Structure 1
Amino acid sequence: MQKIKLLALDIDGTLIADMGMNVAPRDMEAIERARGAGVFVTIATGRILETAKRWIHALGIDIPVIICNGADIRDEEKSWFRDSIPKEATRDIMSAYRGTGQKRYIFSDNKIYCTRDDYYQVLFDKWQQGEEAVFPVVIKDTEEEMYREMYADAEKVLVWSPVIELEPELREIARTFAGKYNVVRGEERNVEFNKLGVSKGSGLKKLAELLGVPMECVMAIGDGGNDAEMLRAAGVGVAMENAMEEARAAADYITADVRKCGVAQAIDRFVFGK
């Protein structure tokens, strides 16, 4: 096996079990040892930059990170690569789910846009928990007001079912967009739409190229359906024991549960050969 030179880590369900939690000390120690051994360490997340900063800072990441499922590769100063859905093209997704009871969110330029009807306090409380900064959400009374406020294209669109009974319709509508967008499940009860061809996997390839690291020397660790393409792209793809089936099927190795420091276990095995 090739020596690991780049490690890409998902956040939710991989580094942390619940929103707002800290990374376990054992995982932190293993990540620090990997960095000390010369391994580049980055984050690959479906989040926008603002809500990933806490863990970027905690891990001391000093290279670009992969955000919004690979639609943006950036550091805190600038974007190195961005591949978005044209703003007007997101209207067909918004229209397809209008009136269904699903909650619709557009991720654009480090903000999340929604209408007042789609704003769901419980979900935003979950996303907000433990964050360093004020949550960057833009709420408007109508879709047209929202689009007028949104000046940039969209990194992704997320649609979420507030109750489990709505999930079958969520999936059924998502299937109608196959071949038009990259459509994945980040977690149960949601679907995430990116530009066709854009994924954490494509983002990881771009970052590895930027750093001069061959893909066979890359390890990726994740748990969500949006991690599957990243796990397939990496030389070593590791799924958490708690991972969704899409991630497990894409992985070369299943590590321990997030609550049992599966990240540390994978680093010890594949970086240090323990």
Structure 2
Amino acid sequence: MSTKYKLLALDMDGTLLTDEQNISKETAQWIRKASKHGVHVCLSTGRAFMSALPYGEELGLTTPMITVNGSEVWRAPHELHLRSLMDVELVKAMHDIAVEEDCWYWAYSVEQLYNKDHWTDDVEGKEWLKFGYHTEDDEARHRILMKLQDMGGLEITNSSPFNLEINPEGVNKAAGIAEVCKLLGLTMSEVIAVGDSMNDLAAIQQAGLGVAMGNAQQVVKDTADYITSSNNDDGIAEVIQKFIFDEE
């Protein structure tokens, strides 16, 4: 088998994982088959390292991994290649907005996850990777978005229609995948990027093949080169079969 695609970059929630938060047997089988045939399989997620790692281990992956939407790139499990931190003043300002809007919020520091129920008095003493908001009130979410855009210096995406995820400007999954390509001696044209949300958009636009899940947000589907089945219907297995093993 010779395929022009050498790297499969997979979002996790809503993509690799079913709604029950597991990897289906069929999908796992095809990922292992692709790995065995020399295709690098890279988890590319908004999750923190410790939350993503068990799934990588379950699949037997030893290749690079992108976590926290690209704020961290791992050369191999437990071996950090790159980390992009967020300005502490921006984190304080984002926290103020969350309090003003009285919505659910969370933030990843290098050490742990903080949220509305468990915040820290020592914002300045932490190294911050990402901040997030969740609200089903469309007007509140729009107000938050406007305030964030006015702040500048931020990369604003989402991982569901009801949230906003914020990384330092220029930090996203596409930039993370580009770093992984450098590590592996590949180009973006050799990448298949698969996802379902706005935090996958840049990767889907810049990869050789950008794939949206059947359950993806409409804007992601509109951008993708191909729309596969949903996360509950082995959409990734379909991509591997179609573009890695049957591309002729």
The TM-score, its normalising length taken from structure 2, stands at 0.92
- Aligned twin of 2:5: 4
Partner of 1:61: 61
**Unaligned ranges ≥5, structure 1:** 120-138
Amino acid at match of 2:146: R
Contact 1:171 1:191 in 2 (8 A): no
- State the Cα distance separating 1:273 from its structure 2 match: 1.8
- Quote the offset at 1:267 in angstroms: 0.7
C-alpha separation in 2, matches of 1:15 and 1:65:
14
Q: Give the fraction of aligned pairs with identical amino acids, expressed as a percent.
A: 29
Structure 2 spans left out of the alignment, 5+ residues: none
Per-residue deviation, 1:99:
3.0
Q: Is 2:244 the counterpart of 1:271?
A: yes
Tell me which moved more, 228-237 or 72-81.
72-81
Query: Are the counterparts in 2 of residues 9 and 220 from structure 1 also a CA contact under 8 Å?
Result: yes
Cα pair distance change 1:224/1:242, threshold 3 Å: same
Q: Distance in 1 between matches of 2:100 and 2:84?
A: 29
1:259 aligns with 2:247: no
Equivalent residues of 2:19, 2:231 under 8 A apart: no
> Retained in 2: the 8 A contact 1:2–1:217?
no
The 1:218/1:105 distance shift into structure 2, 3 A limit, reads: same
Pick closer, same or farther for the CA change 1:36–1:205 going to 2, 3 Å.
same
Distance 1:192 1:167 in 2: 15
Q: Read off the aligned partner of 2:139 and give its amino acid letter.
A: P
2:145 is matched with: 174
Per the alignment, residue 168 of structure 2 pairs with 195
SS at match of 1:113: strand
Distance 2:143 2:178 in 1: 30
RMSD: 1.8
Query: 2:171 and 2:199 mapped to 1: Cα distance?
Result: 11
Q: Report matched runs for 1:76-115 at 5 Å.
A: 76-114=77-115
Cα displacement (A) at 1:17: 2.3
Q: Work out the CA distance in 1 between the residues paired with 2:162 and 2:138.
A: 6
Distance 2:243 2:146 in 1: 36
Aligned equivalents of 2:219, 2:80: Cα separation in 1: 29
Matched with 1:205 is 178
CA offset at residue 56 of structure 1? 1.1
| Matches of 2:57 and 2:187, distance apart in 1 | 26
Higher mean C-alpha deviation, range 92-101 or range 41-50: 92-101
Instruction: Report how many aligned residue pairs link the two structures.
Output: 243
2:65·2:77 contact (CA, 8 Å) conserved in 1?
A: no
Counterpart Cα distance in 2 of 1:254 and 1:78 = 33
Contact 1:215 1:234 in 2 (8 A): yes
Q: Which amino acid aligns with 1:28?
A: A
Q: Mean alpha-carbon deviation: is it higher for 205-214 or for 103-112?
A: 103-112
2:126 to 134, 145, 151: 151
How far does residue 175 in structure 1 lie from its aligned partner after superposition? 2.7
CA distance in 2, matches of 1:160, 1:45: 18
What amino acid does structure 2 have at the position aligned with 1:231? I
Q: Does 1:27 find its partner at 2:27? A: yes
Following TM superposition, by how much is the alpha carbon of 1:146 offset from its aligned partner in structure 2, in angstroms?
A: 4.2
